[in-house]
Structure 1
Amino acid sequence: MNSRKNLIRTATAAAVVLGITGLTACGAAKTDSASAKSGGTVTIAVPSWVGAEANAAVAKHILEKELDTEVELTQLDESVAIDGLNSGKVDAVLEDWGGAPDKIKLYTEDKKSVVEGGDLGVVGHIGWFVPKYLADKHPDITDWKNLNKYKDLFKTAESGDKGQLLEGSPSYTTNDDAIIKNLELDYKTVYAGSEAAQITQIKENYKAQKPFITYWWTPQWLNAQVDLVEVKLPEHKEGCDADPEKVACGYAQTSLQKYFNADFAKDGGDAAQFLKNFSWTAEQQNEVAAMIADQKLSPEAAAEKWVKANESTWKAWLPK
């Protein structure tokens, strides 16, 4: 990450696989990664969290309906998606949290096969959160220095005699194990299995008013339904997460970025220009994400509904 250089949420969440095709490592690279210039297919990589799927669904709908450009969505984790940009198998990544900084540097600065696509318009943040009802009962629980005092509240069968820190997928790369070790916290990371499973666990605990502490992030549509309070970890400072084994700080605020295959950015015509222009707010992203994950609309239906209601927003993204 800048803040999230050690966080990659990967392709496991069942809530975000609808309508997304796979891209295998052994598949042949495109012969023309800037395929849109001749009316071909634009390939957009989609990480496995529903906010990223919201981006892709809306972009696909507008590209196909307004710019007559076929779009293929392919579910890839953050690091593999950046490799796809380099090889030409992927044209665009619309939401990057900085999870593969070495690859970004290699491909953008050295090989120049990948170019920056600009800000998505959304600022992301990761942290540890507890429900507000628990923070109201124990106000000092929101300071990491007091977490060991409350570990018994968070014990589960999975965490044994330690407090449980609820995580998402085991394939996510986080700093949390290092933070626990280096801050000498008597906690254990326990993985729900996916974003969808983590949301289910949070909702069940919240409904039952049970104590829980979880790795979580913003923006996220669920935050409109559950009132969570962030636990203050040591302040993030530049470079404090440079060594994954020595991390003893919290996560920073991260402006989410877009990246394009360099040939596509240069020769992709209106499709490339549209994706460069694509920028929206966390609230707008959450609106579409909630339709998909909470209201159970298909990504296509959610995108169509949002586009119909927000013409003044997306028309500004169209090439002039």
Structure 2
Amino acid sequence: MQINNIMKSLTTVIGLGFTFPAMASDTVRMVLPSWDGGKYIAYNLAHEIKTVTGRNVEFVTMETDKMWIEMDKDDGEVDIFPDLWMPNQEHNWGKYVTTNKSVVHNDAPYEGKQGFYILNNDDGIGIKDLSGDILTDLDYDNNGLSEYWPGAPSWHAPVFNKVKLKSYGLYDKFEAINQDDKAFLTTLDERARSGDALMFYWWEPDWVHAKYLLKRIDEPEYVEGCKDITDPSESDDWLNKSKFGCAFPSSEVFVVFRDDFLEDDKLGTLLKNYKVNIERLQKDILVSKESGEDLKVLAEASE
């Protein structure tokens, strides 16, 4: 009898139009990038989402290729990626944004620059200058090969940068430093303190330019046709099939998210209109590095 009464009560409540909270849908899952700029944007965006929509944000870590697959699903493990660099992700962008249309992006990307940088060198260097004494200076362990960091192994940047060295005839003169970005920043700091040269992939804007003496290596200007990348997923011979004998084009950096979020007026509008305050980002990250202040707290206070 008691069970029957409970069931009748539930039926009455539902019939009157009352709804029960959908707890799982109240949580938004966002990838927390490993680099400082991406973390800052994630913390700031999560704070905005909570403030505007009341929804909680759960941070997850995931490799970029898997992230796209999960956002493509109706019930995937990821909803938002806060700092996506283009054209680095053009292969996945073409599949999930352009073709599948399961992933969308904000309307106000910020502009970024990326390329090879030299540490502890105040002179202008071109890619064709990488020979002789310069290569010797970059041979940190004196094994006959110069060292460079092409980007973290889980990123797509190493694909581009290995193709670049091959296209410039330098692939056999270098060996890659196989470190994630956190470990590499320790290496960068050690080399800066010791005064040693180091070549590495990096980007602008970022706080490292305020802390270290860095020069971006000049490369031929990007023109249509100077870049043709075969993705490693498409061919084992991707390196030989690819070319990239020019600088990166100016990058656009987006927030990308599941397309069905556009059906939520508050969340969809927030994500589509979200804009990164780059000046504040660089300032706050440097403050965090120098003073030890919590980056999350600084990002949440930024408007």
Q: Structure 1 length normalisation: TM-score?
A: 0.73
Indicate if the aligned counterparts of 2:52 and 2:266 stay in contact, CA closer than 8 A. Answer: no
Residue equivalent to 1:227 = 213
Q: Which has the larger radius of gyration?
A: 2
What stretches of structure 2 of length at least 5 have no aligned partner?
1-20, 231-241
Match of 1:52, SS state, is helix
Query: After the TM superposition, which segments of 4 or more aligned residues of structure 1 sit over 6 Å from their partners?
Result: 35-39
Aligned to 2:268: 272
- Match for residue 282 of structure 1 among 278, 283, 287: 278
Unaligned regions of 5+ residues in structure 1, if any? 1-34, 308-313, 315-320
Residues 9-32 of structure 1: CA deviation (Å, up to 9, x unaligned) = xxxxxxxxxxxxxxxxxxxxxxxx
Instruction: State the match for 2:111 in structure 1.
Output: 123
The question of whether the paired residues in 2 share the 8 Å contact of 1:44 and 1:93 is answered with: yes
* Counterpart pick for 1:258 among 237, 255, 259: 255
Shift of 1:168: 3.8
Please point out which of 148, 159, 166 is paired with 2:149.
166
Deviating more after overlay: 205-214 vs 97-106: 97-106
CA shift, 1:295, in A, is 4.2
- Would the aligned equivalents of 1:291 and 1:302 in 2 still touch at CA under 8 Å? no
Distance 1:184-1:119 versus aligned 2 partners, 3 A rule: same
Between the aligned partners of 2:48 and 2:272, the Cα distance in structure 1 is 14
- Secondary structure (helix, strand or coil) at the match of 2:101 reads coil
* 1:231-277 Cα shifts (integer Å, max 9, x gaps): 11222223422235222222121011222211112x22312211222
Alignment-derived partner of residue 215 in structure 1: 201
- 2:96 is aligned with 1:112: no
1:85-112: CA deviations, max 9, x gaps? 2114232222211333233223233332
Which secondary structure does the structure 2 equivalent of 1:72 belong to? strand
Cα distance between partner residues in 2 of 1:65 and 1:81: 25
CA distance in structure 2 between the aligned counterparts of 1:65 and 1:135, rounded to whole angstroms: 45
Given that 2:79 and 2:258 are in contact with CA atoms closer than 8 Å, whether structure 1 keeps it comes out as yes
Q: CA RMSD in A?
A: 2.7
Matches within 5 A, 1:29-68: 40-68=26-54
Aligned to 1:97: 85
- The alpha carbon displacement at 1:294 in A equals 5.2
The one-letter code of the counterpart of 2:122 is: A
Q: Give the secondary-structure state (helix, strand or coil) at the position aligned to 1:119.
A: coil
CA distance in structure 2 between the partners assigned to 1:117 and 1:143 by the alignment: 35
1:178 corresponds in structure 2 to 163
Q: How far 1:148 moved relative to its partner?
A: 1.1
Query: Is 1:144–2:127 an aligned residue pair?
Result: yes
What is residue 31 of structure 1 aligned with on the other side? none
Judge conservation of contact 2:148–2:175 (CA < 8 Å) in 1: yes
Please tell me whether the aligned partners of residues 165 and 188 of structure 1 are also in contact (alpha carbons under 8 angstroms): yes
Kindly indicate whether the alpha-carbon contact (under 8 Å) linking 2:30 and 2:82 is maintained by their aligned counterparts in 1. Answer: yes
Q: C-alpha deviations, 1:201-256, integer Å up to 9, x for none? A: 22222222222222221122121111211111222223422235222222121011
**Local SS of the residue matching 2:243:** coil
User: How far did residue 124 of structure 1 move?
Assistant: 1.8
Native 8 Å contact 1:92 1:261 kept in 2:
yes
Do residues 242 (structure 1) and 238 (structure 2) align?
no
In the TM superposition, what whole-angstrom CA distance separates every residue of 1:6-59 from its partner, at most 9, and x where no partner exists? xxxxxxxxxxxxxxxxxxxxxxxxxxxxx9999711222233222111111011
Find the aligned partners of 1:261 and 1:48 in 2 and give their Cα distance. Answer: 21
Q: Is the 8 A contact 2:138 2:147 kept in 1?
A: yes
Letter in 2 for 1:63: I
